[in-house]
Structure 1
Amino acid sequence: MHITDYELFEVPPRWLFLKVTTSDGTVGWGEPVVEGRAKTVRGAVEELMDNYLLGEDPGRIEHHWQRLYRGGFYRGGPILMSAIAGIDQALWDIKGKRFDAPVHELLGGATADRIRVYQWIGGDRPADVGNAAAQKVDAGFTALKMNATPEMRRIDTPAAVDSARDRIAEVRDAVGDDVDIGVDFHGRVSKSMAKRLVEALEPYEPMFVEEPVLPEHNDALPQIAQHTTTPIATGERMYSRWDYKELFEQGVIDLIQPDLSHAGGITEVKKIASMAEAYDVAIAPHCPLGPIALASCLQVDACTPNTLIQEQSLDIHYNETSDVLDYLEDPDVFEYHDGYVDLPTDPGLGIEIDEETVRKRAEQEVNWHNPIWKHDDGSVAEW
């Protein structure tokens, strides 16, 4: 068996799908994308596939990962690691189908019977979160996540802090103490404000505070941790085990959130998760993306003992034109019961992509970019 062909499909709302075909007709799917940089990642995937993988045996996944990563003098970063991630997902999909087993069985087998998921509420600039939270809990979810704030100045007013506190108070009042609430700072907040905010939110016992500062300011996390007992999460903008090494050595992170479409795919995130386990850190993979990324996450979740919970993007505020289930032959594989999803059982990634729908929607113009926010004085704000 060898790799004979590949195709890339940019589809709404903001996803890039990769189809890899082998000499015996086996097809593997991956999702290599950086949100807002799909065309750039497309070029990286083409370069890697054309120069390294066409004509190769798809089964040598670790060897191929090493060649794709170490074959270039310049390594890492979101574009290269996302390209590698999607290719890696497709190779694991092919291997699972070749051995008629879900990927998690090939990685050691299940460590749990089902996987807990959480649901987003509130949008980019969070609003009407109480009603949204109550609706999602009524639908069976036991964990929610919301943005903490809109844009914030480096040192903002007491009113800005009060507003963030009032939002989580509204959600806690709506859902009670039996529901977990993750609060995402989205890297929008300076370390000065993060220290104030984590103290203000702590009485409402968030499940975690996420990305309280940008990853380039991870050195501030020990200071922030001194202001709260709330678990601290980060990692969606970190791309390899080497990026995580110093973070683990700090000893203040409780939860990591590597993205299976950004952090080198199944091969790399499984290694990152094992590193985290050695530091008593849980994992909750980042996944505001499409069905292939989610399927890949669930495969790693299923065989990883320190998995806490899984993000998923059904009805998320980004999915205005298409949603996760639209591209699946059988949407029931992601059916949620009581806040959990069953372990995938079908071979490979455990999903069948509706290729007709993919090809049809790839004909549309897709040009998603995140908004550029500004402060009142016209300076650029973090989104």
Structure 2
Amino acid sequence: MGVGGLSLAAVPLLPIEDRVAYATQNVSRASKPSDLKITDLRIAVLEGVPFTSPIVRISTNQGITGWGEVRDDADPRFALMLKSRILGENPCNVEMLFKRIKQFGGQGRQGGGVSGVEMALWDLAGKAFGVPVYQLLGGQYRNQVRVYTDATESEDPEEYAARMKARVDAGVTFLKMDLGLELISKIEGTVVGGGLWGDDLGQYNGDPGSYGMTEHAFTQVQITDKGLDEMAKYIEAVRGAIGYEIPMGMDHTGHFGVDTAIRLANRFERYNLAYLEDLVPWFYHDDWRQITENTNVPTMTGEDIFGFEAFKEIIDQGLVELIHPDPATAGGILETKRIADYAQMHSIATMLHYAGSPIGAIASAHIAAATEGFQALEYHSFEVEGWDTLVDGMEKPLMKNGFYTLTDRPGLGVDLNEDAAKQFLKEGTQLFPKSDEWNEKDSWDRIWS
């Protein structure tokens, strides 16, 4: 007869190992962290959430599933190629595995694979030990995480202002305003050099050699005083609608050089902007130094930077006044927290960029909860119908009155609702198809001799 069938009176007569077995017979064995092993990694590509987001699913030998997310509009293969490096490993050894795969990350979307896998490892570790990810990071500074959001642009300043006011009326307490020079470029006398680009000053034209793919210093585009005045009409309309109690940053102003960036910042100073974001590419350090030293509007960059080391250079030199990592590019959960904590040591606060599904958004919220110098996390899904349905485990709506409220559920505290995910599945793809072709490593990964 096994120990489970013994009478209570007989238990003291058993050997110690049998007494332990009897006492713990009703304890769940679903998770024994020291024996946890990764058995599979698969990807499902969702679109319209609001962009294209590859979702990472890591399976284990104990039936625990970890969720992560590759950066929006990144190639899912950035994550799939890492499968052979982590199969059979214990996902609770997050830092060790991150150091193994970090070499395969890169700037921009190339950081998405490493970051998404790292998120899923933390989810697994939290679930294995029965605690939220923020607890593994050292605990909470807050369990309500402030968000910031924007609204779609309009060529009519008053309509743009109404859209931003609607965000405030919905409870949002921090805004970002996209204000591209293309809104005013058709007005005579506002832009110098636009004709070189066929007057196509769209920042998201991905054609090689287009304005959208040309770095700022090399477009030879300038905004005139009249152009800055026309752009200012939009800010005045928005400030008139929302007032000055609501912090508001600005992004996507256009591709132009340092001199125009400084003039723009000085013209908009009167509107007390919370920040000006990515006025030039992040890697032009001297340009950022000039802008920051010659303006009184806080400067910010970082959403396309991978890894602590690249951020450290910017922080050490004091090139910007705010950093803006995207956890799905920066290296995932712990690497982003390391970056933010280091920034705080240099009196630099952290905003978090995010524009994906609720999986990555809530992963980012765990970083925010555990990071003292955090300010606000991007919420880019105001108009995505069904976004909240993509996950289970948190009260809906996920974002309420301008905040996410985290729970004490283990791991990220949310799981993908696969039925809902099917509604967003990228056309022509399957939900988590087999990925056996990525099981075997076919390279010598050491990067030193």
- Correspondence 1:331-370 to 2 at 5 A: 332=395, 335-359=398-422, 361-362=424-425, 364-365=427-428
Q: For residues 46 and 420 of structure 2, what CA distance do their matches in structure 1 show?
A: 10
Change (3 A) 1:111 1:169: same
Indicate conservation of the 8 Å contact 1:146/1:183, yes or no: yes
Q: For residues 268 and 396 of structure 2, what CA distance do their matches in structure 1 show?
A: 36
Given candidates 83, 102, 121, the residue that maps to 1:69 is: 102
Given candidates 88, 91, 114, the residue that maps to 2:121 is: 91
**Equivalent residue of 1:309, what SS?**
strand
Aligned residue-pair number? 354
Given candidates 12, 37, 47, the residue that maps to 1:2 is: 37
- The runs of 5 or more residues in structure 1 that have no matched partner are 367-383
Q: For residues 135 and 248 of structure 1, what CA distance do their matches in structure 2 show?
A: 36
What is the CA distance between 1:113 and its match in structure 2? 4.2
What is the CA distance between 1:284 and its match in structure 2? 1.0
- Correspondence 1:1-383 to 2 at 5 A: 1-13=36-48, 14-35=52-73, 38=74, 41-49=75-83, 51-70=84-103, 76-123=106-153, 128-151=159-182, 154-185=221-252, 188-315=255-382, 319=384, 324-329=387-392, 332=395, 335-359=398-422, 361-362=424-425, 364-365=427-428
Moved over 4 A (4+): 124-127
What is the CA distance between 1:165 and its match in structure 2? 1.3
Q: CA RMSD in A?
A: 2.2
Indicate conservation of the 8 Å contact 1:313/1:324, yes or no: no
Indicate conservation of the 8 Å contact 1:187/1:214, yes or no: no
Indicate conservation of the 8 Å contact 1:333/1:351, yes or no: no
**Equivalent residue of 2:395, what SS?**
helix
For residues 148-169 of structure 1, the C-alpha deviation after alignment (integer angstroms, 9 at most, x for no partner) is 2244752122232112211111
Q: For residues 116 and 155 of structure 2, what CA distance do their matches in structure 1 show?
A: 30
What is the CA distance between 1:358 and its match in structure 2? 2.0
Q: For residues 393 and 127 of structure 2, what CA distance do their matches in structure 1 show?
A: 17
Larger Rg over CA atoms: 2
Change (3 A) 1:11 1:243: same
Q: Provide the identity percentage.
A: 28
**Equivalent residue of 1:283, what SS?**
strand
Q: For residues 99 and 143 of structure 2, what CA distance do their matches in structure 1 show?
A: 32
The normalised TM-score by structure 2 is: 0.74
Change (3 A) 1:289 1:25: same
Could you tell which deviates more after superposition, 248-257 or 137-146?
248-257
**Equivalent residue of 2:55, what SS?**
strand
What is the CA distance between 1:247 and its match in structure 2? 0.8
Change (3 A) 1:209 1:258: same
- The runs of 5 or more residues in structure 2 that have no matched partner are 1-35, 183-190, 195-220, 430-449
What is the CA distance between 1:211 and its match in structure 2? 1.1
